[in-house]
Copies of this chain bind each other. A is one copy, B any other.
């Protein structure tokens, strides 16, 4: 962020955010590890693939959102970690299926062979399928929360965010848009579904766990929405400017696929400016929470300024 942009009040330092992100990522990793116990039968290979796809990496942004928002509302830490593990498994399933030969046909994910390259295509499809199922199984289990209304609300919110009217719908709009020229509103809608809905859900899941008031939930939803859009714009900028080595995945994919992006519509400078504006908006929605939201505000800045 340049010197002319005012810093939001009560924001955590980059160092404090980094430490908090690393601590939470390790706790989420451990939660996923303990939720995916490898059996001894012939189906063990499925669990190997599920673990390969969901463990050992990533920024765990979605898990971090769930955990931080849950903490903001005083929710139980174990409940938050299970919810975080669930949304990360849902996200992992989407990456496994996105990378498949008939979809993005990507051999690389986080600098490692994608799941269908490490295993095979059939195993990758089934591992993605089962990761989705596991995400809902975890949320519905009494171990996540004693109140069944909260569990059912989590399942419903995740399903709405990730299904045909959310993430998967966005993926289809993205495929349909290849080689076509989309307007800014169409690109916004595409990303609001494809990546925004799950990030927004991750934030809201913490509010559901913490029994937040409707007003506070609306604040968190608005924060999650703006953060999600800022994240996607930053992603488009990175795809256009960073190397595959920095990204840990193929760079320049959007251009190669003839996709309309925030960069193709606004230019790199215009897109960067819009991402920063949304970061400010996201933080503004959190003002009511004071210093308790210091890390969530720093996160909004982080998603805009990250290099991978």
Cβ B134 vs Cβ A41 within 8 A:
no
A242 near B: Cβ within 8 Å? Answer: no
Cβ A122 vs Cβ B102 within 8 A:
yes
Question: A15 to nearest B CB, angstroms?
Answer: 39
Closest to A154 in B: B140
Picked from B130, B132, B142, B155, the residue with its CB within 8 Å of the CB of A169 is B130
CB-defined contacts of A148 to chain B, threshold 8 Å? 148-149, 151-153
Cβ B137 vs Cβ A159 within 8 A:
yes
A34 near B: Cβ within 8 Å? Answer: no
CB-defined contacts of A103 to chain B, threshold 8 Å? 122, 125
Picked from B45, B151, B168, the residue with its CB within 8 Å of the CB of A152 is B151
Question: A132 to nearest B CB, angstroms?
Answer: 6
Closest to A177 in B: B42
CB-defined contacts of A39 to chain B, threshold 8 Å? 165, 169
Picked from B50, B136, B175, the residue with its CB within 8 Å of the CB of A159 is B136
Produce 1/0 per residue, A154-168, CB < 8 A to B. Answer: 011001101111001
Given contacts A122-B103, A125-B102, contact A132 B130 (CB under 8 A): no
A133 near B: Cβ within 8 Å? Answer: yes
Cβ B120 vs Cβ A168 within 8 A:
no
CB-defined contacts of A139 to chain B, threshold 8 Å? 155
Closest to A189 in B: B41
CB-defined contacts of A47 to chain B, threshold 8 Å? 164
A265 near B: Cβ within 8 Å? Answer: no
Given contacts A50-B164, A140-B155, A163-B130, contact A169 B43 (CB under 8 A): yes
Picked from B137, B152, B168, the residue with its CB within 8 Å of the CB of A133 is B168
Cβ B43 vs Cβ A134 within 8 A:
no
A46 near B: Cβ within 8 Å? Answer: yes
* Interface positions of A from 83 to 112, Cβ below 8 Å from B: 93, 97, 100, 102-103
A123 near B: Cβ within 8 Å? Answer: yes
A274 near B: Cβ within 8 Å? Answer: no
A126 near B: Cβ within 8 Å? Answer: yes
Cβ A164 vs Cβ B133 within 8 A:
yes
CB-defined contacts of A168 to chain B, threshold 8 Å? 46, 126, 129-130, 133
Cβ B164 vs Cβ A134 within 8 A:
yes
Cβ A43 vs Cβ B97 within 8 A:
no
CB-defined contacts of A160 to chain B, threshold 8 Å? 137
Question: A195 to nearest B CB, angstroms?
Answer: 15
Cβ A176 vs Cβ B137 within 8 A:
no
Cβ B173 vs Cβ A156 within 8 A:
no
A26 near B: Cβ within 8 Å? Answer: no
4 additional contacts (CB under 8 A) given A130-B164, A133-B159, A140-B153: A46-B168, A126-B168, A132-B132, A137-B163
